[in-house]
Amino acid sequence: GAVVSQHPSRVICKSGTSVKIECRSLDFQATTMFWYRQFPKQSLMLMATSNEGSKATYEQGVEKDKFLINHASLTLSTLTVTSAHPEDSSFYICSARGEEETQYFGPGTRLLVL
C-alpha cells in the first residue's frame, strides 16, 4: 500500500502557542488530503478536505482561522493549530488519496496542550 508520513508524532506545547503538523505522501501524488481528529474511544472526525492548490473545505463547526491548512504540493499538506488551548489536545491524523479511491492514513500526531 501507499505510504503516508506525519511529523511530529507527538508534541507538547504551552497554551497560546501554535503547532504545525506535516503530512507527506511518500510514494504517490496526493491530489486530496484529509485531516481528522480523534478523541479517546471516539470515532474519527473529519476536520477538512484539502485539494492541492486550492483552499481547504472545512467541516461544519471547524474554525478555519484556528486550524490553518496548506496543501501547496502534491506530496505535502500542513495543519497549523493556532493559539492552541488544552481542549485542542487530541490525536490528529491525516490521510491522502491519489488516483485510487483509497485513503491512506499517516501514523497520526498526538498533541498535548498544557
Partner 1 sequence: GQNIDQPTEMTATEGAIVQINCTYQTSGFNGLFWYQQHAGEAPTFLSYNVLDGLEEKGRFSSFLSRSKGYSYLLLKELQMKDSASYLCAVEANAGNNRKLIWGLGTSLGVNP
Name which of 43 and 86 has its Cβ closer to partner 1: 43
Tell me, by CB under 8 A, how many residues bind partner 1. Answer: 20
Task: Report helix, strand or coil for 88.
Answer: helix
Residue 4 cell numbers, joined: 503516508
Residues 49-88 binding partner 1 (CB under 8 A) are 49, 51, 57
CB 105 within 8 A of CB 95: yes
Query: Under the criterion CB under 8 A, does residue 44 sit at the interface with partner 1?
Result: yes
Query: Under the criterion CB under 8 A, does residue 32 sit at the interface with partner 1?
Result: yes
Q: Minimum Å distance from CB 83 to partner 1?
A: 26
Q: Minimum Å distance from CB 71 to partner 1?
A: 13
Which residues, at least 6 apart from 104, have a Cβ–Cβ distance to it below 8 Å? Answer: 1, 2, 3, 4, 25, 95, 96, 97
Which residues, at least 6 apart from 32, have a Cβ–Cβ distance to it below 8 Å? Answer: 49, 50, 51, 52, 96, 97
* Residues binding partner 1 (CB under 8 A): 1, 32, 34, 42-44, 46, 49, 51, 57, 91, 93, 101-108
